[in-house]
Amino acid sequence: MPKTTRAIVVHELRKQIPALVSLGALIVFAATVNIITPLLFKALVDGAIPAKDLGQVLWLLVGMVSASLLGIVLSALQNYQRAKVGEAVTQGLRQSLFDHAIRVRLSALEKLKVGEIVHRIKLSCGEWTCPHDRILLVNPFAGPIPGVDLITSQVAPAGS
């Protein structure tokens, strides 16, 4: 198994080549479909409306609506495929990290302070910071979870 983060990502992306090819094809196809709508609009304004051809106007409008709907479907498929590839790479990184962490000697871990392991992982995976270097568990519907403070790794007693 690769040792560096970059090697792990490259390894995981190589496993995702068919998904990446289909994602590229979706992007090209969606771009083509998105070009069709302005061309249909041009044909509508420059040709069908001045000629007062109601049948052509209706077909061009149906084509514009169909192209727009197809563009929406293709966009959703792109997002799904992109998320699938991203999650696969993330899963590979997590698995590699877990495999490494499980093989580390306990005596080496006991020498580290609480939170130092997370700090080292944070630095090796790329710098990211939170305001005041504080991380809180947040429920998007209710805000911070009461009684949990990840800074001190303490849980408040029930009822407080």
Domain ranges in the chain are 5-128, 130-160
Residue 139 has a pLDDT of: 41
Residue 23 has a pLDDT of: 94
Q: Taking the C-alpha atoms of 50, 52, 56 and 60 in order, what is their torsion angle to the nearest 10 degrees?
A: 50
Residue 7 has a pLDDT of: 86
Cα distances (angstroms) measured from residue 24 to each of 18, 123, 133? 10, 32, 38
Q: How many residues does the chain have?
A: 160
Per-residue pLDDT tens for 23-63?
Answer: 999 999 999 999 999 999 999 999 999 999 999 999 999 99
Residues of the chain with pLDDT under 50: 127-156, 160
Residue 108 has a pLDDT of: 78
Residue 110 has a pLDDT of: 79
Cα distances (angstroms) measured from residue 39 to each of 17, 20, 22, 33, 151? 34, 29, 26, 10, 57
